[in-house]
Structure 1
């Protein structure tokens, strides 16, 4: 039986703010428990399945390609912590990983053991090589996931003595986790169990207390709790609560593990509280009181035998405070632990460098920063005389991403780091701090006939309507001829998130079909520093959209592609970008893929009861209180600007249990488009009925989802 496009009924609902009335015909789709809503979503799924049935063979091929290129039985590079090497395993045929460890051979053993080899008795194939004596499987997520259509591992935290494990799981996709505890000496589960917690868990140094967080009704992490092992969760102590709905709360510890830390932050303001970990039942104290518009972070270092706080902030370029020019790209200062406001600037503010993070070790610091739209890494020795000279690590590729890996030990002779690019599979190195030698520990295995020399990557620049140069990252097979080629243009552009170069096994299935992959590093992201973000948020948000249009136009004008070969792709806040671009310049694209798209932003940001809305006001503005913000957001909201004109083909994908971008947004958007647009381009809505913001779970299901999306992209770019 032929399934026709579902036509959602219209139930007019008036929404009035600042003297403006908007009639919302599809708000009724928000009633998640209403059988009529579920029936509509299932009808959309059936229509999508029918309309994409002709791609089934191609989907199967792409899935097989991803699977055939992936070393399914694999393991991570072991990381030393205490007396153990910790690593994860994947096993062919299993959807989820195993967390494992094996003993360290000696105190001076810093060379990760070679764990490759045949399986030993009593284990699944490839799960425990014979040359790994005394391997322990700490957690098998496949067992945890049994009986559930969705599974996500949240916390995985081991006590400093290596004897206890705290871990949390989510089997609904709503990011509400259940926290459990395991005695690693016996393998027995402890009776302690805490429900409806946020993702993380942090041990105190006495191994007897665990700190965790809970969220409010809007999914905002707002409260920190202390649990004493062996006591009922009803006895847990509320350590901290943040009542201001514009702030979220985080928890962790310094790298040294000497201090426990509570982080309180909005999009533009932050505050940190600390407590000595050896005194977990003590009172946390504020490091520096929050100052509106000033963000800071704190790390603990020992300099010339003295405990110091390293404070990274964007206050005054002259030091802590708000007087004078603001250190927009952040600076790094040193201060006594007992007087954090008494700061000495270590690294001054620079307009061309965005300082992102500093990690402290016993005898060196590691600086993470961004310059010219690329990540950078530098080593800074700490000696008897204090701070030495830092040295940036250099790499040969034009485009790359580098950062620190897992380095749990306070004092270690090697620094674990990771490196990748669009054409270089992920590489794990140990950097020898005494010699400067880079020791390659592992390169991501790509099976089959993959050869990095068959591909090229390079930087290009588009010019926005206001003259701003927009960086583009381009990767393509060398043998793709010049001229209009099938092209996928990806963008995000929010929250200062940077879309750094990275290798993708799945993407090879697009590249090998002659599709050019391009990332438009539009404003609203963080690739070019904090100013790049500031000029793509709140009342400058439209720069994000016009930058992307300029990128598409540049690719067309330079002959790299044409509208009939160009597909746009973005998810979440990048889905807002997709919806806005569909309204702004539909003629430039043959298809638009929007994953969990934030396409009804004004409705959401006007409702403080919705998940995360109040926190988001610093990002988008507060349309409830500000007429100008309301007017500006309404002028770009994809849902409210759907018009009777031709649109490209659109595939929108969402999840029923998404708590960040509710399924109702793409459902309303597609309903409005179907009732309003002209032309015969196809509109498809696919809703995962048991997943959250990250989509389906399990690697095989994720590969199937990638194959579904990529087959559609191949078709829409004309590469098929």
Structure 2
């Protein structure tokens, strides 16, 4: 029986066609499903109960149809969920991080969905639970704990949480001695918290009415938030404001940026009454970020042609007229993507041809590299409160090896393993193999592909899950993901297509996948799929493609361009209604997006280019593979109506194939379910869909039986 054969037994929802016509640059567009976008969409994102009944009924009908079609997959999805749950360390805990006389850490209780924020004395064992995420989440359809940060004097805790999935956080604080909560609650924040040195106030970022982070305020504990003092405000809707604390905790760093340039400001956390200090004014094409050290300010920047970035420094007390000193020169192809500072050390992460490295430089100029040998691995800097001591906390994992967390002494090069991720039920890295390969794109570029599979995978063409993104300069990490092994143990090869639009091969790789070069992202992904076929690892129809958000647009594009290549498509919160969205400046993310996609309001050339590849506008009269499309009702990034309209357009125009399944999480936003077990249910369903899409065993047998 063909995959999803029973879909013909059910009638998919058919939304009424209500043609909405508009013209731009001499081109008339007819959008049959524009009405699915609620006129009160802002209210609906803030409060789902405000969604008009007609639209809610459609989304619920879509969910019911998808559930009916996928009902046969329930045994397999349940089995995969059970396997995933079995790989979770139920009482997982971070290695404690010392701050003064205390050790701080996060952990889970058995069967807990959310983290517990804890501490214990550095010289003792008595634990105090400072914040109980499970308790805070009780009775809520959605709960996501944002930041939870103790004050410098260790007497208070401020924390943020999102209770809708719309990324609008509330910030509360509590007294750690009494447990009493402050009555002053700060609303409509992005969740970031930076304490002042006196522990009597914190900085936060406020969101505007269009869900954009736009202003930084100072809140004094106990004061009415309406009286909070404005520190910095950005009025250009194309720019976002980001706030963080420096590692030294001497300053807050405010970064204001779009996709093309940035500017940074410093706030002295011991003297917040003083004005914020501008580092460098914004200038077209100038991107930089900064990190205050003991007496110097370090800057990662693309200035003067350093498109893959260099590191500079200047005396902190000479910002207005001092000279910048080069610390690490620019080298084309070596992307410096993160940097931080200790009292006497500069540390940075760099990437070349998909391979990350950790580098460090001492105050006396000596450089060193911390090296790992795995062909596909990921490095990440972890939080460490001690600025004076040269102890770097680092996590390492690979496609086959679970995460390991180390304390690395930069002075002595001693490496101490603090934690190796537990995978209950057993995980044997030697049973799996990973590889970095390169596909050839139509223009001759070499596109990296990371892949992992079981060593005893049957020879010959087998099933593949191929993941892609390719936007905003985001590089996909080759990190360990225990949830993937249910699929891999069923004979799948898992592959990541590092297509243009990311920075896996430096900034040039990003620039070659945006604006007028955007279609390289799509053709790169198709080239990766065909390369896997040419290697004999798979064949057309046995590849399931997956991507989310901008990667969901990639899914829509490749489904239009090469539908016969894929046995199935998984598109999570897909950005597919490109023309309508990027032509509407009132939508939350549209003005900032013009540097990524172009401005079709001002440019006829840009308009026609977007129209040529927008997935929603290019659905064709052809057969499409089965598709699982996911949306979030309270998503401010990719609004719910984009995937809903796309599903309707596909069903209306396709000549065969499918089914087209739309599942909308009515209680969540861009990231889906927030609880660690709730998220596994979504993962398990995707994997069951992938197995079914390539004709695999859906009976819920163990992986060994299915192989």
**Structure 2 length-normalised TM:** 0.94
SS at match of 2:184: strand
Q: CA offsets, 1:367-395, max 9 Å, x none?
A: 1111121221012222xxxx321111111
Q: Which sits farther off after the overlay, 552-561 or 431-440?
A: 431-440
Q: CA offsets, 1:636-676, max 9 Å, x none?
A: 00000001011111110111111100110010001001000
**Separation of aligned partners in 1, 2:453 and 2:624:** 27
Of 429, 446, 455 in structure 1, the residue corresponding to residue 432 of structure 2 is: 455
Question: Which residue number in structure 2 is paired with residue 573 of structure 1?
Answer: 550
Contact 1:82/1:160 (8 A) holds in 2? no
Question: Which residue number in structure 1 is paired with residue 196 of structure 2?
Answer: 204
Residue 432 of structure 1: how far off its partner (Å): 2.4
Of 418, 424, 438 in structure 1, the residue corresponding to residue 401 of structure 2 is: 424
* Matched positions, count: 677
Residue 311 of structure 1: how far off its partner (Å): 1.6
Of 504, 522, 527 in structure 2, the residue corresponding to residue 527 of structure 1 is: 504
Of 91, 113, 122 in structure 1, the residue corresponding to residue 109 of structure 2 is: 91
Once the two structures are superposed, the pairs formed by residues 281-292 of structure 1 within 5 Å of their partners are 281-292=273-284
**Separation of aligned partners in 2, 1:360 and 1:251:** 17
Question: Which residue number in structure 2 is paired with residue 402 of structure 1?
Answer: 379
SS at match of 2:285: coil
Question: Which residue number in structure 1 is paired with residue 47 of structure 2?
Answer: none
Question: Which residue number in structure 2 is paired with residue 100 of structure 1?
Answer: 118
Question: Which residue number in structure 2 is paired with residue 111 of structure 1?
Answer: none
Of 16, 19, 22 in structure 1, the residue corresponding to residue 26 of structure 2 is: 19
Once the two structures are superposed, the pairs formed by residues 167-316 of structure 1 within 5 Å of their partners are 167-302=159-294, 307-316=295-304
Q: CA offsets, 1:296-323, max 9 Å, x none?
A: 1111223xxxx2111221110xxxxxxx
1:561 aligns with 2:513: no
Residue 357 of structure 1: how far off its partner (Å): 2.1
**Separation of aligned partners in 2, 1:610 and 1:352:** 36
1:591 aligns with 2:598: no
1:621 aligns with 2:598: yes
Question: Which residue number in structure 2 is paired with residue 42 of structure 1?
Answer: 60
Contact 1:486/1:718 (8 A) holds in 2? no
Question: Which residue number in structure 1 is paired with residue 45 of structure 2?
Answer: none
Q: CA offsets, 1:109-141, max 9 Å, x none?
A: xxxxxxxxxxxxxxxxxxxxxxx6321101101
Question: Which residue number in structure 2 is paired with residue 351 of structure 1?
Answer: 332
SS at match of 1:377: strand
Question: Which residue number in structure 1 is paired with residue 72 of structure 2?
Answer: 54
Question: Which residue number in structure 2 is paired with residue 545 of structure 1?
Answer: 522
1:368 aligns with 2:360: no
Once the two structures are superposed, the pairs formed by residues 481-520 of structure 1 within 5 Å of their partners are 481-520=458-497
SS at match of 1:532: helix
**Separation of aligned partners in 1, 2:383 and 2:429:** 26
Contact 1:82/1:161 (8 A) holds in 2? no
Residue 2 of structure 1: how far off its partner (Å): 6.1
Once the two structures are superposed, the pairs formed by residues 56-75 of structure 1 within 5 Å of their partners are 56-75=74-93
Contact 2:17/2:32 (8 A) holds in 1? yes
Residue 263 of structure 1: how far off its partner (Å): 1.2
Contact 1:376/1:403 (8 A) holds in 2? no
Of 459, 477, 488 in structure 1, the residue corresponding to residue 454 of structure 2 is: 477
Question: Which residue number in structure 1 is paired with residue 11 of structure 2?
Answer: 4
Contact 1:515/1:719 (8 A) holds in 2? no
Residue 413 of structure 1: how far off its partner (Å): 4.6
Residue 6 of structure 1: how far off its partner (Å): 0.8
Residue 680 of structure 1: how far off its partner (Å): 3.4
SS at match of 1:575: helix
Contact 1:545/1:581 (8 A) holds in 2? yes
**Separation of aligned partners in 1, 2:597 and 2:650:** 24
Once the two structures are superposed, the pairs formed by residues 652-691 of structure 1 within 5 Å of their partners are 652-691=629-668
Q: CA offsets, 1:418-477, max 9 Å, x none?
A: 000000001111112343121111111011132111100001110000000000001000
SS at match of 2:599: coil
Contact 1:646/1:679 (8 A) holds in 2? yes
Contact 2:334/2:351 (8 A) holds in 1? yes
SS at match of 2:293: strand
**Separation of aligned partners in 2, 1:134 and 1:442:** 21
**Separation of aligned partners in 2, 1:187 and 1:529:** 48
Q: CA offsets, 1:533-564, max 9 Å, x none?
A: 00001111000000001111111122110112
Residue 275 of structure 1: how far off its partner (Å): 2.7
Contact 1:487/1:567 (8 A) holds in 2? yes
1:339 aligns with 2:346: no
Question: Which residue number in structure 2 is paired with residue 637 of structure 1?
Answer: 614
**Separation of aligned partners in 2, 1:462 and 1:275:** 47
Contact 2:344/2:390 (8 A) holds in 1? no
Unaligned runs of 5+ in 1: 106-131, 317-325
Residue 626 of structure 1: how far off its partner (Å): 0.9
Residue 359 of structure 1: how far off its partner (Å): 1.0
**Separation of aligned partners in 2, 1:146 and 1:194:** 21
Unaligned runs of 5+ in 2: 1-7, 42-50, 698-707
Contact 2:342/2:390 (8 A) holds in 1? no
Of 444, 455, 458 in structure 1, the residue corresponding to residue 421 of structure 2 is: 444
Contact 1:77/1:87 (8 A) holds in 2? yes
SS at match of 1:40: helix
SS at match of 1:38: helix
SS at match of 2:303: coil
Per chain length, whose mean CA-contact separation is higher, i.e. which structure has more relative contact order (CA < 8 Å, sep 6+)?
2
Of 280, 297, 306 in structure 2, the residue corresponding to residue 327 of structure 1 is: 306
Question: Which residue number in structure 1 is paired with residue 361 of structure 2?
Answer: 380
Contact 2:345/2:390 (8 A) holds in 1? no
**Separation of aligned partners in 1, 2:515 and 2:385:** 38
Residue 330 of structure 1: how far off its partner (Å): 0.9
**Structure 1 length-normalised TM:** 0.92
**Separation of aligned partners in 2, 1:25 and 1:371:** 46
Q: Which sits farther off after the overlay, 463-472 or 225-234?
A: 225-234
Residue 363 of structure 1: how far off its partner (Å): 2.0
SS at match of 1:428: strand
Residue 77 of structure 1: how far off its partner (Å): 0.9
Residue 209 of structure 1: how far off its partner (Å): 1.5
